[in-house]
Amino acid sequence: MDASSGRPSGAALKTTRLLPIRTPRSAVAEWTTTHYSAEEELLNPTARLMEAIYIVVTVGLGTPVNLPVFSAGIAAQLARYPHFHSIQVTDGSKEPRWVRTAVNVDNHIIVPTLDPVAVVANPDRALEDYVASLPALPMDCSRPLWEFHFLDFPTSEAAATAVIRVHHSLGDGMSLITMLLASARSAADPTRLPAMPKPPARTGAIYEPRRRQQSSGSALAAFVTWIWPYLVLAWNTIVDVALFAATIVFLRDPPTLFRRAGDHVMSNPHRRFVHRSLSLGDVKLIKNAMNCTINDVLVGATSAALSRYYFRNSGSSKTNKLCLRSVLPVNTRPTTSLQAGTSIFQRMFANTTILFSNMVGPTEQIELCGHPIVFIAPSVYGGPQALVVHYQSYISTIKVILAVDDDVIPDYTQLLDDFTESFGHIKDAASKLSTSIINRE
C-alpha cells in the first residue's frame, strides 16, 4: 500500500500472475468537501450508468519517453477539457455532480517500477502483465478520474508505451479517442491535426436505390411486388424489438466457452488485454471482393475466429443450439431518465456474451506531446462480458484488441491467433473470388 495516497501499489496485488510493481505518490488530494468550486454540473444518466466501467488505451511510442515534455503536453492539451479537471461528488446533500478543481498533472502521471529481470527476459509479457494489473488498482476519487502510465522500455512493437486509463463517465470510447486525436498532431506537419479517412462514398450495388420494374402482370401482382420489401422490413423490425425485449426480461445466452455459468454473471477483476496488427489493405480487399462494408468484414472475421476457437476446444460440431450474441453500443440521443436506462443497460450486458466495437483512426502517423505514435489499442473493463472485441484502424493497419476474462478464456493468445488465421483464410478466398471475377470479365 502506498502510504502517501492510500491506494494499493502493484506489489501489493495478491496474485502470482502479475509482475510486482510500485507506483509511488506524494501528492495530497486535489479536492475535499470543505472547499470546492462553485462551478458544478449534474452527472448525466450515462455517466451514472458507467460507474464500474473504465477505458484503457495502450499507445505505442516511437521514441523513449521524455517525461517533462509529455507532462507539459498533457497539461496544455488534455487537462483543459472540462471533465478532465472535474471530480464526481456524491456527498448526499445534492444530486451526484461534477465539481471543477485544480489539476496537478504530476498526480496523474505514473511511472511504475517493474522487475528488471522480468522486463529484460520478456518485455512484451511485462507490459501485458502491467496492463492486466490495472483493474485491481482502484483510482483515487478525490482527483479527476484519468491517469497516464509510462513504461519506458522497448517492446517488439514500440520504443516505449503509454497506457491511458480513464473512467467511462468522462466520455465514451469514440469521444475519448476523438479527444486524444484532437490533442495530437500530424508527424509530417506538427502544425496541423491528423488526417482522418474521408467518409465512405456508399457506392455499389448494395447502396443503389431499387428501381421500380414495370410488371407485365395484373395490378395486384404489381402491388404485391411494391409492398413486399416494406412488409419484410416491418416483420424484421417486430422480430428485433421482440428479441430486444426478451433479452431484457429473460433471454440469456447459454454458458459457452466464452461465458461464465450461473444465474449472476459478474465482472472478474482479472483481465488480460492483448492485441494484434492486421493489414487494412487486406480488409479493404475483402470488402471490395464481397461488395460489403468494412464493418461486415470485421463481424464476419470475428465470427470465424470464435468458431475456430469454440470447435477446437469443445470438440463439438453441432451448431443448431449454439447462441452467442454481441452488443454494439451506439449513442443515438440524450437520455433523460436514469431509471428508464439502468435496468436495460445492466440486463442487456449481463444476458449477452460479447461486447464489440470498431473505431476509425488517422490515415497518417501522428505525434502526441512530441512523441510519434506507433499504434493505438483501446479497450475497456468493468463489464460482465468475459470477452470484449475492439478494432482500431491507424495508418495502413487495423488492430484487433481483446479484453478477456482469463478464468473463462485462459488460452487467450490462441484466440488471438484464431483472429489472425481467420483473416488470412478469408483474404485468400477473397483474392480467388476477385481473380475469378476479373477472368470472367
The DSSP line for 113-124 is B--HHHHHH-HH
Distance CA(100)–CA(85), nearest Å, equals: 6
- Find out whether 110 and 5 touch, Cβ atoms under 8 Å: no
pLDDT value, residue 316: 73
Distance CA(133)–CA(18), nearest Å, equals: 7
Is 168 in the active site?
A: yes
Distance CA(103)–CA(159), nearest Å, equals: 29
The count of residues in the chain is 441
pLDDT value, residue 435: 66
pLDDT value, residue 86: 86
Domains in the chain, CATH or no CATH each: 10-183 (3.30.559.10), 235-330+343-440 (3.30.559)
Listed residue (196, 176, 193, 174) closest to 184, CA to CA: 193
> Can you read off the three cell numbers belonging to residue 238?
417486430
Q: From the candidates 85, 149, 168, 371, give the one annotated as an active-site residue.
A: 168
Distance CA(370)–CA(372), nearest Å, equals: 7
- Find out whether 356 and 389 touch, Cβ atoms under 8 Å: yes
pLDDT value, residue 39: 63
Query: Residue 287: what residue type?
Result: K
pTM higher than 0.75 for the full model?
yes
Q: What is the pLDDT along the chain (441 residues), one digit of tens a residue?
A: 343 343 433 333 333 344 444 444 433 344 444 344 456 777 766 667 677 889 999 999 999 999 999 999 988 887 778 888 888 887 766 677 888 888 889 999 999 999 999 999 999 999 999 999 999 888 888 889 999 999 999 999 999 999 999 998 887 777 778 888 888 888 888 888 888 887 666 655 555 666 655 555 678 888 888 888 889 989 999 998 898 888 888 888 887 888 876 545 556 667 899 999 999 999 999 998 888 888 899 999 999 999 899 888 887 766 666 778 887 766 554 444 444 755 676 677 777 888 888 888 899 999 999 999 999 999 999 888 889 999 999 999 999 999 999 888 999 999 999 999 999 999 998 888 766 655 554
